[in-house]
Amino acid sequence: MGRPPRIPGCGDIVRLFGRDLDGSGPPLVVAELSANHRHDLEVALESIRVAAECGVDAVKFQHFTPDGLTVKGDHPDLRVASGSPWENRTLHDLYVEAAMPWEWTIALVEEASRAGVSWFSSPFGVDAVDFLVANGVEAIKIASFELVDLPLIRHAASSGLPLVISTGMASTAEVDAAISAAGDEGNTNVVLLRCNSTYPASPSEMDLTTILDMKSRWSMPVGLSDHTTNSTSAVVATALGACLIEKHFILDRSLGGPDAPFSLEPDQLRDLVRSVNEAHSALGSVRYGPSDNERASLQFRRSLRALRDIDTGELVTSGNVGSRRPAGGMAPDRLEDMLGRRAVRSIHQGEPILESDVDLTNDGRSS
């Protein structure tokens, strides 16, 4: 398995797309273009522009060739099983439809730069890793299905670039092995992504509490690769400290395509970005006592108030003094001390009861 994984810690902070993933900021939001380009460069370019307008931090591509990803043939193992959106299709045919032409890369990168977003990609072979490095990729994503391809991880890690490793289906031993493979090349700039590798994924099978265990177990940034059809899991993951949210994106689901059923449209992506940012903002920090905006509400706490007019010398009773809003009078807990004491002045209905308003030296009940 190689050397044990060197776990980032003791001051090590992974930096991705110009951000330190130290938990101080909201999660990075990534729009995954995947197969939603429809083999049309203009669709891919427009997808980048619209995703940027929706507020994402980065866009992600996939670099593979069908022949580098699978074997063309009629063997039953090469056909997608029932229950999948791609049921009964051969893997090779599916990947022919999904593959993005590598010659688009320069145009896509330039468009991302103009739109003000970062970019990265999932390479599915060492040739794709080399191609991406040569084209200035900022980070390398290892897909869930490739997590067990340790030679691929080592080659990607040797670039020195941050690795974003999706862990769908992976056991803890397999994640350990993947981290070790990166560590074999001296690369500890690793971000792990919680993922359920079904398409679409059911919220009931996301098990997002695992994010907390992953952060504790591996002491490195953890995010979410989300294949559900809405933003709920992304918001929950944010509350659990996710540093990155990756979501498939499509301009219009009616365009169809292999990934359309579980891809968000622009309005949904915009809502996800807003919701994730709001969720992170709501986490705030540990605080007791009023916030700045709560201070004005302190006046509406209860205090002791005159329930009716009270004459000078009249005994204080539960019928003429009680705990009512707003603040300004004595604390409600002081009512027992006041009962049976005599008022030293005339008190109008609604006035706060102060300690100076009653004679505490004599118990009126004994006079």
**Would you write out the chain's pLDDT as a tens digit for each of its 367 residues?**
344 344 443 336 899 999 999 988 999 999 999 999 999 999 999 999 999 999 999 999 999 999 998 999 888 888 887 666 766 688 888 888 889 999 999 999 999 999 999 999 999 999 999 999 999 999 999 999 999 999 999 999 999 999 999 999 999 999 999 999 999 999 999 999 999 999 899 999 999 999 999 999 999 999 999 999 999 999 999 999 999 999 999 999 998 888 899 999 999 999 999 999 999 999 999 999 999 999 999 999 999 999 999 999 999 999 999 999 999 999 999 999 999 999 999 999 999 999 999 999 877 655 5
* CATH topology identical between 15-64+99-283 and 295-366: no
H helices of 164-298, in order, are 172-184, 210-218, 232-239, 266-283
CA–CA separation, 249 and 177 (whole Å)? 31
Domain boundaries, the chain: 15-64+99-283, 295-366
Give pLDDT, residue 7.
Answer: 40
Give pLDDT, residue 8.
Answer: 40
Query: Which fold does the domain 15-64+99-283 belong to in CATH?
Result: TIM Barrel (3.20.20)
CA–CA separation, 312 and 345 (whole Å)? 4
Q: Is the dihedral of CA 342, 346, 352, 356 positive or negative?
A: negative
- Short-list 32, 98, 89, 31, CA closest to 65: 98
Give pLDDT, residue 225.
Answer: 98
With 0.85 as the threshold, say if the pTM is over it. Answer: yes
314 and 342 Cβ atoms separated by less than 8 Å: yes
Query: Which fold does the domain 295-366 belong to in CATH?
Result: Type Iii Antifreeze Protein Isoform Hplc 12 (3.90.1210)
Number of helical (H) and strand (E) elements in the chain, helices listed first = 11, 14
The residues, ordered by sequence, that sit 6+ positions from 270 with a Cβ below 8 Å of its Cβ are: 53, 54, 55
Geometric angle at alpha carbon 305, from 330 and 297, rounded to 5°: 70
Give pLDDT, residue 197.
Answer: 93
Give pLDDT, residue 254.
Answer: 92
260 and 280 Cβ atoms separated by less than 8 Å: no
